[in-house]
Amino acid sequence: MSEHGTGSSGGADGGRQGGGGNPGGRRYHRPVVVDPAVADELPGALDPTLRDEIAHTTANALVRHGRATEDPQVVARLVALVETEGLDVVAAMWADSPADTLPGALWRLYVLREWVRRDPETVADRYRQGVAAAPVHDVVAGVVDRPGPDDVRTVADAVLSGVYTGDLATALERAAAFCQVLATGAAFDADHLDALDPGAAARQTRGAASLVRTAEELAHAAQLWRADRLE
């Protein structure tokens, strides 16, 4: 989303110049988020085993914390994690986690929401183009008919809130359906652009493919959660 981590500039923002969106796109390798005074004392790159342990520990703690509270303000703060902590901090925890893990699934949900938050006009346009043809039920994706920017923001927040207040598998499936609709819209947009700007059309096509991949990853994560195998 936008300059975050999925799309042309690296985000699922799939902006016009970016090519359709890509919530599982650019990887955040060794983001600079450590305090300089602490960094000076580090002997080298973080051990992959330790990094993996941190990812799983933080993801599980966050989900447990959200599910243990009935305070809507706590849930709202968890949903707004990227705004309060910064995308680089969240990326440092989870961006390198495989898609079939809890931290990997959370990373994709947060990047998807961040794209919607930063570029709701593009997301709403993609949705309107794709919803008629995407092979998902509109009610599953959870977006009103012909949504505007505020509507897609609301849905993105509701999907992520479902991680902490509802069934996690359902939240993952809703996000997967949403990505599938956006992928279809991006593909349609690429067709329209092809005669005018082949380069932009190619970027949109790549973005659409990335969104399809993210949809598949989220749907698979939902299956794993139901089987008690999403760790």
Cβ atoms of 116 and 5 closer than 8 Å: no
Which residue from 128, 112, 211, 85 is spatially nearest to 171, judged by alpha carbons? Answer: 112
For the beta carbon of residue 118, count every other beta carbon within 10 angstroms.
Answer: 20
The answer to the question of residue 107 being in a domain is yes
Under DSSP, the state recorded for 67 is: H
Q: What is the extent of the structural domain holding 166?
A: 36-226
Instruction: Report if residue 31 sits inside a domain.
Output: no
Residue 155 lies in a domain: yes
Q: Per residue of the chain (231 residues), give pLDDT as tens.
A: 433 334 333 344 433 333 444 444 434 333 333 333 433 443 445 677 888 999 999 999 999 999 999 899 999 999 999 999 999 999 999 999 999 999 999 999 999 999 999 999 999 999 988 887 876 766 566 777 778 999 999 999 999 999 999 999 999 999 999 999 999 988 887 777 666 777 777 888 888 899 999 999 999 999 999 999 999
User: In angstroms, rounded to a whole number, what is the distance separating the alpha carbons of residues 114 and 131?
Assistant: 21
Residue 17 domain-assigned (yes or no): no
pTM of the model: 0.78
∠ CA(159), CA(67), CA(144), 5° rounding? 20
Is 158 in contact with 171 (CB distance < 8 Å)? no
The total number of structural domains in the chain stands at: 1
Please indicate, yes or no, if residue 6 is contained in any of the structural domains: no
Q: Is 157 domain-assigned?
A: yes
Token pair belonging to 226: 């139901």
Would 28 be classed as within a structural domain?
Answer: no
Q: Does a structural domain hold residue 83?
A: yes
